Amino acid sequence: MGNDNIDQQIVNEIRFFDFVAQKIWPRVRWLFGSLITPRCQRCTISSKVPEVILHDGLCNLCQAHEARQNRAEQVWHDKYIAHQAKELDQLLKDHENKGRGRWDALVLFSGGKDSVYMLSRLKKDYPRLRLLLMTWNNGFYSKVALDRAKEIAAKLDLDHIVFKPSSSVYKTLYRYTLQNVAMKGSYQTVDRLDGTLNQFLGFYYAYQMNIPLVLSGVDFAQELIMQFHSYYRMPFEDMCSRTLLDRMERRSGFKIADIFSEEDQKLFWDGTGKDKERIPQYILPLLAWRPDKGAVQGELERQGILPKRDSSPILTNNQVLGVMTAIDIKTIGYCSFEPEFAEMIRFKENDPVYWRNVFELVELAAKQRILLNKIISKVLGKLGLTADQVGLSRNAIRK
């Protein structure tokens, strides 16, 4: 059976999981009360997350968040955003039709909702900005997202490259990181390396092709959590040094020299000694725009860009997510993506009902070994790993 076929089966199984989570789980949740960890009523965070304490159904993080939302803070915040939006607008205008080569900006284009929204707005507001879309095919991204990325690029008639590094790169990354998640959780380890490498490939390619801007659809809460900053532009000195790579190594606890061949290590961006004239600026437009996520969905559906059926976030995500979640629940008792998603919910950038359903059902599924098993074994099969090697076999005892 070819990988295409397996990928389609994985899509079908995730679609089924999503259906159960959203349509069936809410009706039967009450039957499983004792098997599911209590969660915050507002942001849905699991009470198993360290330092989370529920009080009257509300977590301490939501209470702290609310305390910060006073009026003076809001005025300052709005001004800060308005300032960023103005600066970004100028920056994009200044780059329209000004690139040294064929393109002014490389758009990291996953086909996910945020990147599609970013693209539609760039096209509308900066029509002379010459864009090159770049999508990764690492062999493990959602087939739905990849097909959609191609379809949208064709529909908008933009230059588009699908960058597929040799299979050793991502396979090596997942194989190594999945076997070394330990108590850090997969979010800080597997997902951090994966997400950072995607950015780095964009920098690498833009540098090679002499493209002055790299635009990413990472949103505000994601960036705040990943890099601890909420500014739409990455400091240029960070782009000109090893800072970003150092940060990734520090947070994940991994050294790329321990994982990758010398040649593949070069894909991880290190600006040291590079020609500063060619180093791209890294821009996160959504941090300055702060679109309302509900409005984004509606707008994209109206424009016919995003079919509603396939807009489910878990369907357009990475196939490896199911494995990561199962490892997390087994080792730390909660999915390590929850703190980020809960934070996004606090900032109204994510739908609490949707994610509560997903996180609860995924916890039950991982504990009871239902619903996720087929997906997990297919993904592990693609990676050439056994359940034992990642600590997921029935009798596996983890360090």
Residue whose CB is less far from Zn ion, 42 or 113: 42
| H/E segment holding residue 215 | strand 213-216
Length of the chain: 399
CB contact at 8 A, 274 and 207 = yes
Residue whose CB is less far from Zn ion, 49 or 106: 49
The least CB distance from residue 346 to Zn ion, in Å, is 7
The least CB distance from residue 47 to Zn ion, in Å, is 10
Residue closest to 43 by CA, chosen among 33, 52, 31: 52
The least CB distance from residue 339 to Zn ion, in Å, is 10
Pairing of strands 58-59, 54-55: antiparallel
The least CB distance from residue 333 to Zn ion, in Å, is 17
Residue whose CB is less far from Zn ion, 43 or 119: 43
Residue closest to 267 by CA, chosen among 96, 136, 369: 136
Q: Is 316 helix (H, G, I), strand (E, B) or coil?
A: coil
Residue whose CB is less far from Zn ion, 20 or 224: 224
In this structure, which amino acid lies at residue 241? S
Give the chain's end-to-end CA distance (angstroms, integer): 35
Residue whose CB is less far from Zn ion, 40 or 332: 40
Residue numbers at the binding site for Zn ion (CB under 5 A): 40, 42-43, 59, 62
Count other C-beta atoms under 10 Å from residue 385's C-beta. Answer: 18
The least CB distance from residue 21 to Zn ion, in Å, is 20
Question: Around 32, how many Cα atoms within 13 Å sit in the side-chain half-sphere?
Answer: 19
The CA distance from 20 to 357, in Å, is 9
Residue whose CB is less far from Zn ion, 41 or 172: 41
Calculate Rg over the CA atoms of the chain.
21
The least CB distance from residue 54 to Zn ion, in Å, is 8
